[in-house]
Amino acid sequence: MSPSEISTWPIPSTTSTVASPIAPRCPTVMAPSTQQRRFSQASANTKQRAQMLIAKALETRVNGINPDECDAGSEDAFFVADLGDVYRQHMRWKVNLPRIEPFYAVKCNGDPKVLELLASLGTGFDCASKAEIEQVLGMGIDPQRIIYANPCKTPSYVRWVAESGVRMLTFDNAEELYKIKRFYPTAQCVLRISTDDSKALCRLSLKYGCPLDDTAKLLALAKELELDVIGVSFHVGSGSEDPSAFITAVEDARTVFDQAAEIGFEFNLLDVGGGYGTHNFEEIAGGLGPAVDKNFPPSVRVIAEPGRYYVATAFTLATHIIARRTVQDEMKGDLPSYMLYQNDGVYGNFSNIIFDHQNPVAKVLKDQNGFYYNSQPENTRLTEYSIWGPTCDGIDCITKSCYLPAVLDDGDWLYYTDMGAYSKCSATKFNGFSNDHDTVYVVSEPGAKALLDM
């Protein structure tokens, strides 16, 4: 963006008595457009089909396993992933934030089919390590569709990235600038600024982001080192619950753009980061989109780094009950409770309990009397359970207390929805248990099916 554009942007108000429609902490709720209403209706129409496909995949897999005769490990936990859900989320993004290009955060879930679909849909990719960049490049993705969005990088990785063709990378401190100058002086650098992420599920500004008080000084150093700084990025924290945080961050980015122009840079990129949930996405978009348009002219490219937004609801996890222990409490009379032990826990795909502050909810999938996806056993009293993972560590607990409408035992199955984000990506092999669980794919959207040739 040229200095002349900066002098005429943001667009000045035509009146002095009418308050701005985009107040920093009171985002205007925009009425749904015709396109948004049509998308919402079409999405609702396909969800029933999606549930049928997921149910069939779960039932087929579970019914094909006889725990009394199967090979050891055949009854391991497994995922069912609806790639149609990922497709719908992308269409939802395009309807609500048409100007902003999504760069999927690979760290959230590097499932190869998810990446293949998103690549076919034209997204970019936010990568934080050499391994993530290699995975994306290995799919034949143009390096220009990748941003190396880790402000503090391993020096050898910077050297490697310089040879890989990936040009965009982030920084937030002087030491990182000297590193880039030494190992990749032709990189396209993006300054990450700190934000208010106090209402986010996972706060990030405690670790990354240049304070606004230091941005001018850091940009002056970049100019002195003759580095190519092209724009600003921010991240309001993963799973943000505060839509106004995006608006405030956009306004802060505007300030840094102005500082850069005074120093002699011509910024042309704004990266509005991640933090997009599924339950409040329209509220976030209703504030973020207008804030971007108000503060930045069309010549500025705007990208984002959504992760959980794309995959959280697309993955369902099925677990096998491997043991049960009766707990008799005199205070509860003749009603025992039980400790259930399943074959996946916090060292596996339930790592999201520890690292992502999630609270997965168990539901009965199958017991001796039937299969219950999207329904539950009838005519049974609620029974109290605690649910535990398979390792020998006492912290390997899914929930200390829950009530399920059945008396479950070895060989029965549970399932958990919304397990696509920060689950299998942080699973370990602690105690020798596998961190590589099968994924059964279904596709509830014809558009996704055509792109994947499935």
Q: Which domains does the chain have, with CATH numbers?
A: 34-84+314-454 (2.40.37.10), 85-311 (3.20.20.10)
| CA neighbor of 238 nearest in space, from 260, 217, 207 | 207
Amino acid at 225: L
d(CA 16, CA 38): 37
Return the pLDDT at 328: 80
Which residue type, as a one-letter code, is found at position 190?
V
pLDDT at 11 over 90: no
Running DSSP on this structure, what letter comes out for residue 240? E
Q: Which of 70, 152, 210, 392 is catalytic?
A: 392
Instruction: Give yes or no for residue 199 having a pLDDT over 70.
Output: no
Residue 198's pLDDT is what?
58
Nearest-angstrom CA–CA distance, 304 and 313: 19
Contact 315, 360 (CB under 8 A): no
Mean pLDDT of 349-378: 91
Tens of pLDDT, residues 157-171? 999 999 999 999 999
Angle at 358 between CA 352 and CA 361, to 5 degrees: 110
- pLDDT, tens only, 125-165: 999 999 999 999 999 999 999 999 999 999 999 999 999 99
State which H helix or E strand residue 441 sits in: strand 439-442
| Alpha carbons 237 and 200: distance in angstroms, whole number | 5
pLDDT in the model for residue 8: 38
- Confidence class for position 78, pLDDT limits 50, 70, 90: very high
Q: Each residue of 207-241: pLDDT tens digit? A: 689 999 999 999 999 999 999 999 999 999 755 56
Cβ atoms of residues 202 and 357 within 8 Å: yes
392 is catalytic: yes
* CA trace torsion 82, 277, 401, 346 (10° rounding): 70
Contacts of 8 (CB under 8 A, 6+ apart): none
| C-beta separation of 241 from 308 below 8 A | no
Please report, for residues 57, 65, 359, 390, 397, the alpha-carbon distance to residue 345 in angstroms, rounded to integers and kept in the order given: 22, 21, 12, 6, 7
**CB 177, CB 191: distance < 8 Å:** no
Say if CB 145 and CB 125 are below 8 A apart: yes
Residue 112 is predicted with a pLDDT of: 97
Q: From CA 281, how far away is CA 269, in angstroms rounded?
A: 23
Instruction: Look at residue 48 in the predicted model and tell me its pLDDT.
Output: 87
Q: What pLDDT, in 10s, does the model give residues 366-382?
A: 999 999 999 888 767 89
> How far apart are alpha carbons 124 and 93 in whole angstroms?
14
Tokens of 315: 């993955």
- Residue at 284: amino acid letter: I
- For tokens 């795909």, the residue is 349
What is the secondary structure of 284-344 as a DSSP string? HHHHHHHHHHHHS-TTSEEEE--SHHHHGGGEEEEEEEEEEEEE--GGGTT--EEEEEES-
Residue pointed to by tokens 């055949």: 74
Q: Would the pLDDT of 1 be above 50?
A: no
Tell me whether the omega of the peptide bond preceding residue 10 falls within 30 degrees of 0, making it cis: yes
CA distance 271 to 232: 6
356 in Cβ contact with 337 (< 8 Å): no
DSSP 57-93: HHHHHHHT--TTTSPTTTT--EEEEEHHHHHHHHHHH
**Alpha carbon distance 201, 35 (integer Å):** 30
Interaxial angle between packed helices 212-224 and 174-183, expressed in degrees from 0 to 180 and rounded to the nearest 10: 30
Two tokens at 243? 């839509």
The pLDDT value recorded for residue 38 is: 60
This prediction has a pTM of 0.88
Contact 296, 255 (CB under 8 A): no
Q: Quote the CA–CA distance of 305 and 149 in Å, as a whole number.
A: 9
307 and 105 in contact (C-beta within 8 Å)? yes
Residue 348 has pLDDT above 50, yes or no: yes
CA distance 188 to 300: 15
Taking all residues of the chain, what is their mean pLDDT, rounded to a whole number? 88
The more confidently predicted of residues 66 and 305 is 305
Query: For residue range 23-62, what is the model confidence (pLDDT) as tens digits?
Result: 333 344 455 666 665 666 566 678 889 999 999 999 999 9
> Strands (DSSP E) along 108-156, which ranges?
124-127, 146-148
Check residue 423 and report its DSSP letter. Answer: S
Cα–Cα dist 397/95, whole Å: 40
Cα 340 to chain centroid, rounded: 30
